[in-house]
Amino acid sequence: MNLQELVRSLRPESPREFDETKPIAMWTEKDTSKGEIVDAFVLILRTRGCYWALNSGCTMCGYINDARMEPVSDENMEIQLEKALKRYRGEKVVKIFTSGSFLDPNEISPEMQVRIARAFKDAERFIVESLPEFVTEKILEPVVQDNLEIAIGLESASDEVLERNVNKSFRVKDYIRAAELMSEIGIALKTYLLLKPPFMTENEAIEDAERSVLFAAKYSSEISLNPINIQSHTLVNRLWKRGEYRPPWLWSVIEVIKATKPEIGDVRLVSWPTAGGLQRGAHNCGKCDKDVLKAIEEFSLTQDLSVFDGLSCSCIDEWKDVLQTGDSLGFEWRID
Ligand code: SF4
Ligand SMILES: [Zn+2]
């Protein structure tokens, strides 16, 4: 069984029933705009979900749990938008996620893409996510507006990692093509990178993330470093349950930030570890997690590396041992 087949075999047997008229979630959080910390409105729209998750999926991504074969109709998407607009309080940053690609016309029709974008045209930043496959002139042309930013999950700047560790639908050259097109049009790019896809030691994961940050900085206005968290029906979940995977240490997140931030100038580097401090997310020993997470959050908002000064805990030595020995991860795990 190859990696693509294995990931596919772990999907839920039957898709869940969804209410197509309700967004998956909405909330307000902090983000930045024009150098200030501001409120951000986050909206997760219910769509058919990621086409790649439906075909195979990435090793760490649980979006298959939100995916289904049938598209959501424009009428129901309009109702979701109306519900969102009722909650929207003019936050300066608006982030719209779909458990897939906003720009995939099979998830959101081109007409609704424009309708949603225009509804938030007065925000300072309007951020959507997309795979590079959908970042084309034809798709972008009607949607483009001054505040549009597109986030692409590159995950790693290594094709080998994309193929063997992440099972990504595209390769680095596809990201570069999309990034260059966006740069020509004047659309800001936010890049998501993974910290510690499966089948890597902690040390290899840090090195891969550092290389990837330096690479993505050439194209991005912002880079989000996303430590892996364990989501159901994923390959990472299966490995974790078998004791063959540990999410990254929070010390590793800081290590990558400290090593790369001084090299990337004005490019913003952020990290919001999902499930941070929990066994299913990036974590340390349990005693220091809260303080370390707080410092990472503060760094993400301020870009000030001094927030890490003085952070310490006895578990740093354990983490250093892991880096030296590849312990807890140094297993050989191959799919034939
Ligand atoms: S990580 Fe992105 S591309 Fe991969 S399955 Fe999830 S939504 Fe699709
Ligand atoms: Zn600790």
Residue 115 falls inside a structural domain: yes
C-alpha–C-alpha distance, residues 228 and 33, integer Å:
26
- Decide if 23 is inside a domain: yes
Helices H / strands E in the chain, number of each: 12, 8
In a domain, 336, yes or no: no
β-strand pairing of 25-33 with 36-44: antiparallel
At 175-215, the pLDDT tens digits run 999 999 999 999 999 999 999 999 999 999 999 999 999 99
Residue nearest to atom 6 of ligand 1 (CA): 61
In a domain, 167, yes or no: yes
For 113-195, list the strands marked E by DSSP. 125-129, 148-155, 188-195
What atom in ligand 1 is closest to the CA of residue 62?
A: 6
Q: Which two tokens stand for residue 273?
A: 């570890």
Identify the sign of the CA torsion 100, 152, 258, 297. Answer: negative
**3-state helix, strand and coil shares in percent for the chain, rounded to the nearest 5:** 40, 15, 45
- Cα separation, 177 vs 140, in Å, equals 14
Residue with tokens 């066994």: 279
CA distance 74 to 116: 11
C-beta 162 within 6 A of ligand 1: no
What is the number of structural domains in the chain? 1
The whole-angstrom separation of Cα 329 and Cα 236 is 13
| Cα angle 163, 52, 256; round to 5 | 50
Contact 174, 133 (CB under 8 A): yes
Residue 88 in any domain: the answer is yes
Domain with 255 in it: what CATH number?
Answer: 3.20.20.70
Which ligand has the shortest distance to the CA of 168? 1
19 occurs within a structural domain:
yes
* 7 within ligand 1 shell (Cβ under 6 A): no
Domain holding 256, by residue range, is 3-325
Residue 333: its pLDDT value, please?
Answer: 44
In a domain, 105, yes or no: yes
Ligand nearest to the CA of 61: 1
Query: Rounded distance, CA 121 to CA 255, Å?
Result: 37
**Residue 333, domain member (yes or no):** no
Q: Which regions of the chain are under pLDDT 70? A: 14-16, 327-336
Helix (H) or strand (E) holding 96: strand 93-97
* Burial category of 305 from C-beta neighbours within 10 Å (exposed 0-12, middle 13-18, buried 19 and up): middle
Neighbours of ion ligand 2 (CB under 5 A): 284-285, 287-288, 313, 315
